[in-house]
Chains A and B, each alone.
Chain A
Amino acid sequence: MELNEFVAKFAELFEDTDTSNFCGSTDFRANDEWSSLIGLSVIAMVDEEYDVALKGDDVKRAKTIEDLFNTVKNKM
């Protein structure tokens, strides 16, 4: 599991933001497009791509995309 690949998949969930705006250290909640509805897409993406069931708290605790990447990695 690669961080760059995870960031790219995460970025695809944002329709109105250019993917080049995302990297591991991105504080995704600061993005105007972020909402609890995109949170559902994150959970779906992680289930589909990594077969990991995230909890809401896993998403809430993560500040950056890399934080979430590490959570997923630890659950694999």
Chain B
Amino acid sequence: MAFLEFKNVRIAGMAAGVPKHISSNLHPDEEDNVSTDYSPEDFVETTGVKERRTSSTLCTSDLCYGAAEKLIADLGWNKQEIEGILFVSQTADYILPATACILQDRLGLSIECYATDMSIGCSGWLYGLSSLAALVNTGGIKKALLMVGDAKGRVKGRRNPLFGSAGTVTALEYSENNSPMMFHFGTDGSGFDAIITPDGGSRNQITDASFQFYEYEGKKIHRLQSRMKGMDVFSFGITTAPKSIKKLCEHFGVDYNKADYFVFHQANLKMNNFIVRKLKLDSAKVPNSLHLFGNTNGASIPMTIVTQLKEQLRSPQKLLCCGFGVGLSWGTLLFDTDKDIVISDLVELEDTETSTYVV
């Protein structure tokens, strides 16, 4: 059983960056790959995604960079004291090097910096947070930044209207005898193809055939684009998320009803509403951000906290967070925020090309 607990680390602050440009799902344009299987109205009603942020130039690292500069300033941190970056994304700048290395230099951090990437999706904030918290918890690294997001895809093409671009930053700080971060994790690789980008890895190398379009659930896509078995993922989400929450509470001897807010991965509204109903939660305690930003993959939990709970977090709150998706992979976290947590205002970035770190 993958249960983890860290007591010597706190979340010092959180921020999020998004492109300024809004794409409407009720009025899709030629950039949006809408399905012929249902109407835009039915799509919005089921998924809850009215609009989302998109950009044809901004990479995930650009959004994370903008959010990180804002958060570091709001925290009043000295950049030379930041000793770690973990970048969690499926849309890294390059296949290599790790984007975290670029961000170390771009942010002007010390070269005495631990920096690496992690490739995981909807459970990414939980996986990233637990990994970085484990390092900071040792006291070997005192301040570190977790960056989680997804934005511009690897291949030019029409965009899936379910997903929006976002780059989030969560600042972690060593802090002795803090209230614990409690995690539960799980993985079921038998569902590896429930959400998959078939080509472009070494199993299926890129060939001319990778670019040939085929029909998938009413959409024309190619093998360098991700595809999803919607019904399988739905079934997985509604069964796994409630189970993971109950397992965590049973293991740590806590009652999930004591949480002030429940922040779920913003998969789609139908799935999230069903999970809320299954756990018999008060929907007023379950904030959503997907109506404004869409499904932002691993970033969706911090996006929801930054954009929907900023005012509430001025006083300490108990948050229960659960992320689930591609892998299949899931994670649940229960923790208390403290009165000093800094939540930055949303950073909205202009659609400009970056000229640095480009080859």
Contact = CB atoms under 8 A, between A and B. Distances in A.
A44 B234 contact: yes
B38 interface: yes
- Interface size on B, as a range, is 20 to 34
A contact face: mostly helix, strand, loop, or mixed: helix
Contacts of B38: 35-37
B239 A40 contact: no
The 8 closest A-B pairs by CB, nearest first: A56-B231, A56-B232, A35-B38, A37-B46, A40-B234, A53-B239, A56-B229, A39-B231
Nearest to B234: A40
Interface of B: 35, 37-38, 42-43, 46, 217-218, 229-232, 234-236, 238-239, 270-271, 274, 278
7 contacts: A40-B230, A40-B270, A40-B271, A43-B238, A44-B234, A44-B270, A56-B235
Nearest to B191: A55
Nearest to B42: A37
Nearest to B271: A40
A47 B238 contact: yes
A37 to B, nearest CB: 5
A35 to B, nearest CB: 4
A39 B234 CA distance: 10
A37 B44 CA distance: 11
A23 interface: no
A43 B173 CA distance: 43
Q: Which of A43, A54, A55, A59 has the most CB of B within 10 A?
A: A43
A48 to B, nearest CB: 8
B22 to A, nearest CB: 24
Interface residues of A, number: 17
B124 to A, nearest CB: 23
A40 B42 CA distance: 13
A36 B238 contact: no
A35 B270 CA distance: 15
A63 to B, nearest CB: 16
Nearest to B274: A44
Nearest to A42: B231
Contact of B234 (A35, A43, A48, A60): A43
B231 A55 contact: yes
Contacts of B236: 53
B231 A40 contact: yes
